[in-house]
């Protein structure tokens, strides 16, 4: 009886529309220099999250100058006109604050969380580095060395690192803007001049290329006053013409052979490149399909490949994989999977099993129970993320930049809950076609 009641309750949870208390209420204003600010008040505890999303990522770089977006994620902590090297972290830690940043294909994200009575400090620190970042020959060299060491650790010397962070994208995409790794290459970083680096900062770290979200125990009137005081004097700067991100139609099913000297077991990866844009019914259907196939031990491919056939030891994937999560990019993107399998199970067998599961989904979609399970988990994760001030700030900013509307933070969950099994089947049949697949055979051993 308890299990039946619980299942019924979860079904209601999955189907119910968002209640008013789940909304992220916000107001907004834009400074004359173009800086857009979103403010969401939450007085439950005296804490505030401040976050900035800068409209620059790996896809904004040019050939020969890869890695610049990620380099500036590091440079932004190297000091500015009134803050010495290391001072950004020290000032925030001295007031009980925390901060971090991340670089993506289409944006760079910065955030701080501080006591609400220290909001002015956080805003002043951000304004100083946006308006007067210290870009010197020494700081550039230091951070290039840091990025190179990060690449060695996370990519070059990590099992499957080169495959997941470099090779899969480079072979799946045809356009360099989409195909090159966000972390860049040693050759490009070594060739970067001080002038190149300064020009990149001037081109993209402009107030009219930034959206800010402030979520927490704040007065919107005070927020407007402080932002205008600290950011208002910063002048907007011209930007280069937007890069062409278009991709040609898939060239037919392909197999790419890779080798990984750090891997202990072989792996199979597969990508489909021709993915729909954000905010479309197809996009939502493929997000949920990715969760159904790959998320957790109850996922279809975990059950099929790890539990039943016992050919694989791990299965990962979904929309956006392996470059980013489904909600962290515009377009184009990939639908991908990475399967580490047993040595005595040949690549051809894993490929056959994987292709068969995709064919079944394209023919029949998901079962009602699978789709319900995925929706329950998806909604739970969505609501849980919005319980934090930083989660709400990030949701608003990604809606503003990637969807063109911060109200997407309040709109999208209901649209995901409205996806049907037939929506999933149609999306799989249209987008996960055999002729559009690129398969990767990752062998244990030496060079490619």
Q: Which mean pLDDT values do the consecutive 10-residue runs of the chain (448 residues) have?
A: 34 40 90 98 97 97 95 94 94 95 97 97 97 94 94 95 96 96 94 92 97 98 98 96 92 94 97 92 97 95 95 96 91 95 95 96 95 97 95 97 96 96 97 96 77
Buried-exposed string 252-284: b where 16+ CB fall within 10 A, e elsewhere:
eeeebebbbeebebbbbbbbbbbbbebbeebbb
Give the pLDDT score at 21.
53
132 and 259 co-located in one domain: no
Give the pLDDT score at 14.
40
94 and 171 co-located in one domain: yes
Give the pLDDT score at 157.
95
Assess contact for 126 and 233: CB atoms under 8 A: no
Please state, in angstroms and as integers, the Cα–Cα distance from residue 119 to each residue in 13, 100, 157, 388, 407, following that order. 37, 16, 41, 17, 24
User: Regarding beta strands 335-341 and 267-272, do their DSSP bridges make them parallel or antiparallel, or are they unpaired?
Assistant: antiparallel
> Distance of alpha carbon 325 from its chain centroid, rounded?
5
261 and 130 co-located in one domain: no
Burial of 369 (0-12, 13-18, 19+ CB in 10 A): exposed
Assess contact for 38 and 398: CB atoms under 8 A: no
Give the pLDDT score at 12.
39
The DSSP symbol for 303 reads I
Position 329 in a domain: yes
Position 65 in a domain: yes
Give the pLDDT score at 251.
83
Take residue 13 and report the two structure tokens written for it: 């949870």
202 and 280 co-located in one domain: no
Please state, in angstroms and as integers, the Cα–Cα distance from residue 378 to each residue in 22, 283, 361, 385, following that order. 15, 15, 19, 11
Distance CA 413, CA 22 (A): 10
405 and 372 co-located in one domain: yes
Assess contact for 105 and 323: CB atoms under 8 A: yes
- What are the φ/ψ torsions at residue 191 (nearest 5 degrees)? -85, -5
89 and 224 co-located in one domain: yes
Please report which helix (H) or strand (E) contains residue 359, including its range: helix 347-364
Distance CA 76, CA 87 (A): 11
Take residue 277 and report the two structure tokens written for it: 């844009």
48 and 162 co-located in one domain: yes
Beta carbons within 8 Å of 317's beta carbon, 6+ residues apart: 290, 293, 294, 301, 335, 336, 337, 338
Position 99 in a domain: yes
284 and 367 co-located in one domain: yes
- Taken in order 150, 153, 159, 163, the sign of the CA dihedral is positive
Give the pLDDT score at 2.
32
Q: Which of these, 51, 123, 59, lies nearest to 409 by C-alpha position?
A: 51
Q: Domain range holding 56?
A: 24-231
- Taken in order 154, 158, 159, 162, the sign of the CA dihedral is positive
Position 3 in a domain: no
Position 140 in a domain: yes
Task: Indicate which CATH number applies to the domain containing 184.
Answer: 3.30.830.10
Number of Cβ within 10 Å of residue 96's Cβ equals: 11
Give the pLDDT score at 446.
61
45 and 173 co-located in one domain: yes
374 and 417 co-located in one domain: yes
Instruction: Single out the residue in 216, 231, 246 at which a domain terminates.
Output: 231
210 and 302 co-located in one domain: no
The DSSP symbol for 162 reads H
Position 32 in a domain: yes
401 and 338 co-located in one domain: yes
Position 395 in a domain: yes
Assess contact for 168 and 339: CB atoms under 8 A: no
Position 337 in a domain: yes
Domains of the chain: total: 2
């Amino acid at each position: 009886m308890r299990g039946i009641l619980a299942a019924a309750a979860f079904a209601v949870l999955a189907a119910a529309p968002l209640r008013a208390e789940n909304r992220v209420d916000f107001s907004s204003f834009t400074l004359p220099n173009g800086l857009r600010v979103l403010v969401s008040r939450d007085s439950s505890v005296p804490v505030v999250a401040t976050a900035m999303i800068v409209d620059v990522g790996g896809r904004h770089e040019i050939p020969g100058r890869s890695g610049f977006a990620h380099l500036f994620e590091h440079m932004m902590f190297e000091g500015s006109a009134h803050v010495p090297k290391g001072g950004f972290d020290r000032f925030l830690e001295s007031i009980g604050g925390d901060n971090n940043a991340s670089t993506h294909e289409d944006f760079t994200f910065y955030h701080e969380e501080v006591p609400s009575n220290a909001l002015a400090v956080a805003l002043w620190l951000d304004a100083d580095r946006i308006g007067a970042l210290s870009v010197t020959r020494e700081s550039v060299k230091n951070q290039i060395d840091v990025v190179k060491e990060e690449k060695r650790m996370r990519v070059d010397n990590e099992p499957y690192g080169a495959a997941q962070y470099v090779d899969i994208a480079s072979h799946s995409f045809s356009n360099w803007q989409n195909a090159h790794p966000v972390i860049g290459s040693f050759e490009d970083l070594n060739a970067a001049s001080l002038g190149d680096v300064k020009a990149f900062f001037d081109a993209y770290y402009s107030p009219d290329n930034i959206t800010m979200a402030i979520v927490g125990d704040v007065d919107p009137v005070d927020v407007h006053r402080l932002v205008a005081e600290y950011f208002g004097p910063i002048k907007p700067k011209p930007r280069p013409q937007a890069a062409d991100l278009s991709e040609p139609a898939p060239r037919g099913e392909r197999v790419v052979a890779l080798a990984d000297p750090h891997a202990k077991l072989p792996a199979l990866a597969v990508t489909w490149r021709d993915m729909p844009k954000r905010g479309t019914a197809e996009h939502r259907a493929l997000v949920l399909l990715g969760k159904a196939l790959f998320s957790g031990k109850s996922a279809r491919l975990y059950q099929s490949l790890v539990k039943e056939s016992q050919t694989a030891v791990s299965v990962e994937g979904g929309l956006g994989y392996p470059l980013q999560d489904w909600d962290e990019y515009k377009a184009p993107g990939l639908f991908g999977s990475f399967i580490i399998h047993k040595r005595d199970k040949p690549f051809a067998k894993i490929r056959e099993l994987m292709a068969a599961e995709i064919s079944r989904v394209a023919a029949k979609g998901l079962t009602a129970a699978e789709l319900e399970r995925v929706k329950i988990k998806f909604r739970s994760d969505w609501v849980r993320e919005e319980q934090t001030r930083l989660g709400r700030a990030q949701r608003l900013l990604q809606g503003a930049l990637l969807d063109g509307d911060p109200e997407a933070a309040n709109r999208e969950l209901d649209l995901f809950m409205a996806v049907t099994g037939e929506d999933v089947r149609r999306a799989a049949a249209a987008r996960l076609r055999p002729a559009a697949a690129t398969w990767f055979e990752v062998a244990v051993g030496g060079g490619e």
